[in-house]
């Protein structure tokens, strides 16, 4: 079971004596605040996609964020004046396993955790979503729902940038290459049947293709693109985030940092080539993250990665994953892949 933060428990303002009562998803009626404690909420619902509407605020000034399931950021910190109320909504994907596809099942149902500097939840309604745009994520540890601090994938932070009506189904998994993602039954063979016409499928696989030759890598990307289209989905190829490895002149090196493997395969270049050949939208996250990391410099970029915590120059901190998710959001809007009205900015 997930442990709620004691600091949140002390800070949240809900009605005195409120107790958690499991909600059953059988009537079609909204499930509400009777399923919450002073730390968070649990809704006993089956796998599916759910719309959540929250009313934030209390007698004192408040500032509330909401995460859920395996540490997914669902709502950014939102302020409310003393005595005021602020309404927000988001859509959440509930599944088993609730985090990485090859990880533990997690807690059944929908779990939400209240955070922020002064959390206050006045009301909540949960209903099964009827008309939802789904964004599937196919990727590795830099994208996935990481189970524990201080790690975070950018896909874990992306939901907070999306309004009600868009759901993120993060099927990224640690350690996966294009080869293993296609061969592991819990990954592509599980994801592909779930894709519906109009769904977006973002594919970022490269970090673990260290021994994949160029022909195989290209063919695997083409297989994923064709598999998405077979189901009526819209594939989007994403070049990998850079690793934080600098040259002496303050630029990132052309090998480790920019994802050129030991066989000389330039993964971002191959992804760009496949996207052009297949007529697939491209999010050049390599170029975007390279520009950002080089602008921050050797010291400033440490906070993006886990250098300070783990001497890790590949995986991102919560802060870094949030920044990188923002870059993905910007590209989704700029390329018209997600309507601007369904995206949070700032």
State the burial class of residue 201 (Cβ atoms within 10 Å of its Cβ: 0-12, 13-18, 19+): buried
pLDDT at 24 over 60: no
pLDDT digits (tens, 9 = 90+) for 148-191: 999 999 999 999 999 999 999 999 999 999 999 999 999 999 99
| Euclidean distance between CA atoms 206 and 181, whole angstroms | 11
Taking alpha carbons only, the member of 277, 147, 175, 260 closest to residue 214 is 260
Please name the residue that has the structure tokens 């998994």.
Answer: 173
- Average pLDDT estimate for 286-312: 98
pLDDT at 40 over 90: yes
The pLDDT of residue 11 is 36
pLDDT at 15 over 70: no
Taking alpha carbons only, the member of 149, 223, 200 closest to residue 329 is 200
| Paired tokens of 112 | 């939400």
| Paired tokens of 274 | 């496949």
State the burial class of residue 234 (Cβ atoms within 10 Å of its Cβ: 0-12, 13-18, 19+): middle
| Residues 6 or more apart whose Cβ sits within 8 Å of residue 19 | 37
CB 205 within 8 A of CB 139: yes
- Average pLDDT estimate for 292-319: 98
> What domains can you pick out in the chain, each with its CATH number?
6-128 (2.60.120), 133-342 (3.40.50.1110)
pLDDT at 222 over 70: yes
The pLDDT of residue 346 is 67
* Cα distances (angstroms) measured from residue 181 to each of 46, 128, 145: 26, 30, 16
Cis ω before 181 (30° cut-off from 0): no
pLDDT digits (tens, 9 = 90+) for 41-99: 999 999 999 999 999 999 999 999 999 999 999 999 999 999 999 999 999 999 999 99
The pLDDT of residue 21 is 40
- Average pLDDT estimate for 8-19: 34
| Paired tokens of 14 | 């809900």
pLDDT digits (tens, 9 = 90+) for 244-283: 999 999 999 999 999 999 999 999 999 999 999 999 999 9
Tell me 272's DSSP state.
Answer: H
**Phi/psi at 304 (5° precision):** -70, -40
The pLDDT of residue 6 is 29
């Amino acid at each position: 079971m997930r442990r709620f933060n004691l600091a949140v428990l002390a800070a949240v303002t809900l009605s005195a004596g409120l107790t958690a009562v499991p909600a059953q998803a059988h009537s079609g009626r909204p499930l509400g605040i009777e399923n919450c404690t002073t730390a968070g909420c649990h809704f006993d619902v089956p796998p599916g996609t759910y719309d959540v509407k929250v009313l934030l605020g209390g007698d004192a000034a408040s500032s509330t964020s909401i995460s859920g399931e395996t540490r997914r950021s669902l709502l950014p910190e939102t302020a409310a004046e003393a005595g005021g109320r602020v309404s927000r909504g988001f859509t959440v994907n509930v599944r088993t396993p609730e985090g990485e596809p090859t990880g533990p099942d997690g807690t059944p149902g929908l779990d939400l955790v209240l955070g922020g500097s002064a959390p206050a939840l006045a009301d909540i309604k949960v209903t099964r979503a009827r008309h939802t745009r789904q964004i599937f994520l196919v990727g590795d540890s830099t994208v996935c729902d990481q189970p524990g601090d201080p790690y975070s994938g950018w896909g874990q932070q992306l939901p907070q940038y999306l309004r009600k009506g868009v759901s993120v189904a993060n099927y990224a998994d640690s350690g996966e290459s294009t080869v293993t993602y296609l061969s592991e039954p819990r990954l592509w063979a599980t994801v592909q049947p779930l894709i519906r016409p109009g769904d977006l499928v973002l594919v970022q696989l490269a970090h673990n293709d260290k021994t994949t030759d160029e022909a195989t890598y290209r063919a695997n990307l083409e297989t994923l693109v064709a598999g998405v289209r077979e189901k009526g989905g819209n594939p989007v190829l994403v070049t990998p985030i850079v690793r934080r490895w600098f040259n002496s002149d303050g630029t990132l090196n052309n090998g480790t940092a920019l994802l050129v493997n030991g066989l000389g395969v330039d993964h971002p270049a191959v992804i760009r080539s496949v996207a052009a050949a297949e007529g697939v939208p491209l999010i050049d996250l390599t170029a975007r993250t390279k520009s950002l990391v080089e602008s921050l410099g050797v010291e400033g970029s440490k906070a993006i990665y886990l250098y300070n915590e783990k001497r890790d120059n590949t995986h991102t901190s919560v802060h870094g994953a949030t920044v990188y998710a923002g870059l993905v959001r910007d590209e989704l809007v700029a390329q018209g892949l997600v309507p601007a009205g369904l995206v949070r900015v700032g």
